[in-house]
A and B are shown apart, each in its own frame.
Chain A
C-alpha cells in the first residue's frame, strides 16, 4: 500500500485566497483524521470522519475551515478565506478502527501551508 497520500506537499498563497488540501487514506481504513501542527500548539486534531461521516469537528478553529469526505478514498480540508495565522503543517491520518482508539493512526507526509 502507498500509505496515506496528501497533496500538495507545499502551498504558498496570499491572504484571502481559498486553499484546498487533499488526502487519500489507506484503502480499507474506516477513520480519517485531519491535524494541524504549529510551534505554539503542537499537533492538534481538527476533525475526524468515520465511514465518510464527520464525527467530531470541535477542533476546527472557525467557520473559515471546512472538511468533506465525499467517498472512502478522498477527503478535503478547505480554508476560505485564508489568513497568515493559518500557516502550519496539516497532516491527514487514517486508521482501521478506533473503538477504544487502540488502533494505530498512519500519517501522511503533510502539507506545509504558508499564507502571506
Chain B
C-alpha cells in the first residue's frame, strides 16, 4: 500500500495571506506527482503534473515544487482569495502507473 500523506489536514487563513502545504510520497519508483483542486460539490480539477526532481510549476498565484529524492512536494498560494477555498489533493504515480491520492488539505480563506 502506497503512503501518500498531506499536511495539514485543514487550514484557515485570512484573505491576502500566503500559505503552503505539503505532500509526502514514496521516493522510490517515482513517475509523477499530480496536484488537483477540488471545490465542494464539483469534481477534482488538475493543477499541475510534475515529473522531474526540482520541478517548479506556476499557475497564477499558485505554484508547486517537487523533491523526488526526499519524497515531498509543496503547494504555495500567494495572496489567498476566498475563491481559493477548496480541498487540494496530491496524487502519486509510481511503477503501477496509476494515481494514489492523499487525503487532501482543506483550505478556507476568510474574507
Contacts and interface: CB of A to CB of B under 8 A. Distances in A.
Contacts of A43: 44, 89, 101
A99 B49 CA distance: 13
Contacts of A107: 43-45
Interface residues of B, number: 21
Contacts of A33: 98-99
Contacts of B49: 102-104
Contacts of B42: 109
Given A103-B49, A106-B46, A107-B43, A42 B93 contact: no
A99 B31 CA distance: 9
Given A33-B98, A42-B102, A48-B98, A100 B46 contact: no
**What's the interface size class on A, roughly?**
20 to 34
Interface string B3-34: 00000000000000000000000000001101
Contacts of B89: 43
B97 A101 contact: yes
B103 interface: yes
Contacts of A4: 43
Q: Is the interface of A mostly helix, strand, loop or mixed?
A: mixed
Given A102-B32, A104-B46, A109-B43, A56 B98 contact: yes
Given A99-B97, A100-B93, A104-B34, A42 B103 contact: yes
Interface in B55-110: 89, 93, 96-104
Contacts of B97: 98-101
A42 B98 contact: no
Given A43-B101, A98-B97, A104-B46, 12 more contacts: A33-B98, A33-B99, A45-B98, A45-B99, A56-B96, A100-B51, A101-B32, A101-B93, A103-B49, A104-B34, A104-B49, A107-B44
14 contacts: A33-B99, A42-B104, A43-B89, A44-B101, A45-B98, A48-B98, A98-B97, A98-B98, A100-B51, A101-B31, A101-B97, A102-B93, A104-B49, A107-B44
